[in-house]
Amino acid sequence: MALTGQCLCGDVTYTIENVPAVTGVCHCKNCQRQAGSAFSTLAGIPKAEFKFTSGTPKLYEDAATDSGNPVERYFCGRCGSPIYSALPSQPEMLYLKTGTLDDTSSFKPQFHAWCDSKQTWVVLEKDVAAMGKQT
């Protein structure tokens, strides 16, 4: 079952061969800034299963993370939609910004990360793993 998605303007489109390996929510300050929201919803996808069908995203290399580890943030150069993040320490995976999926109805987070910096008004589900500061 292939999943599809795109940026806001439609310049960047993609397909994913299988369901995500993992799903989660990141509450770190940099994800908040990139999303312009309280958090970023993510789906871990093996890079080999992710294919662009149109467009090429731009890259912002985020070296100023709380963990000290760099994050590669890919986004549409026209509309600015974040598409995915990648960690050099995990070269086989990418972390899709799930708001870009055409159908988000099946998204359910398996974890919450960086909860030490989550917005105070965000309430987490009790049955979902929640981790504080990551290193």
3-state secondary structure (DSSP) of residue 68: coil
> Is 80 exceeded by the pLDDT of residue 134?
no
> Is 60 exceeded by the pLDDT of residue 135?
no
Confidence of residue 65 (pLDDT cuts 50, 70, 90): low
CA distance 104 to 75: 19
> Is 80 exceeded by the pLDDT of residue 1?
no
pLDDT of residue 119: 94
Question: β-pairing, 50-54 with 111-113?
Answer: unpaired
What domains are there in the chain, each with its CATH number?
Answer: 3-130 (2.170.150.70)
pLDDT digits (tens, 9 = 90+) for 14-45: 999 999 999 999 998 988 998 999 999 999 99
pLDDT digits (tens, 9 = 90+) for 67-124: 677 899 999 999 999 999 999 889 999 999 999 999 999 999 999 999 999 999 999 9
Entry pTM: 0.89
What is the H or E stretch that residue 134 is in? none
How far does CA 55 lie from the centroid of its chain? 18
